[in-house]
Structure 1
């Protein structure tokens, strides 16, 4: 397993050196800096797996680093290192998205234990999210239908569908092998009244052109003559 990368942002050299020593004993990769500007450069270059962050730094407040680390699109777990009397900083840091805090003076072993705990929680949360997302992806042959992001991939390549085409494909793929009459299909899809029986066949034909190798001989969206449509079984 690839070792986790820890960024230590601390302007007291002795504390930074002790943290590096204890974290590296645990097999973690450590990078350190003592300025807000340097920390932001590290985040822009290659985000670490966790940040140990002093609030008071040489060129500003560590809370500026925390704000960057807490952005939803690239959130990085963060543990604050604060003075015992700095309650306001701790409260603000937690409100801004810090995962934990340790007050100075601290035991290096406690810091390592908290790092391990936050990394474990983060890994578990990401695994749960990945499992939940995986459950939202339907796979039929060479098709992948991602219901969370409204994306369809054919042989791994994204294919653009209209909203109606996506609704039809998702519904059929949720029930492979089940035959949908035209009226049943319309009742299931027609929450907005935009799909009509006379246009349903056109939507199906357009959908086939986008997902089938040969729309004239479909492998996925099949016609049950005189009845309706169904999705082939995986």
Structure 2
């Protein structure tokens, strides 16, 4: 799929594919490569074609990423969709905040521990992902990552991967890195405001649902933890997913 979308980019670069046809070309890639039924997805009129193509790639990555952690062979749930916060009110959580909550849950599951019925505290995240609070006794990095006063960098994620690996004996680098990359994309969308998040979130949900033609049906995450996760920020579920 990435190679096929590179061909679309090359056509735009060299002028062999008019800009007005780029959205159609992205849909045609999905139909040809992912075997989405013709007419299932319509070209996007409100999104930049480049962002539309990126959302398609992310939705495919989401399916590939989630399959290994699903309990049922015939079902699938979106992990990347949990990063999308489209609140009904003024309250919202930054994508980095949501990412840390997802990391916390994945680390507990890999350790064989049950998920709590509510979202984690700062101290719980520190203990599970960082091996404890800062030795210096200063302000928690978790707090600063959440409120945006400290950037969550790839090196920080690598540190979490190492700590979780040491405590659980499991290597979560594959899934942690890809969720981090998805969070970086959504952080850029968030910078454009709530309407941009709504539009990109809805389109992402359309692509993700269309890709459920790959042998698995969409299934909600119904444990108390994920229910609490979805209630935070005045939202009930990942948009259109």
Instruction: Give the TM-score normalised by the residue count of structure 2.
Output: 0.21
Q: Tell me: higher relative CO, structure 1 or 2? Use CA pairs within 8 A at least 6 residues apart.
A: 2
Q: In proportion to residue count, which structure has more helix?
A: 2
Q: Which protein has the bigger strand share?
A: 1
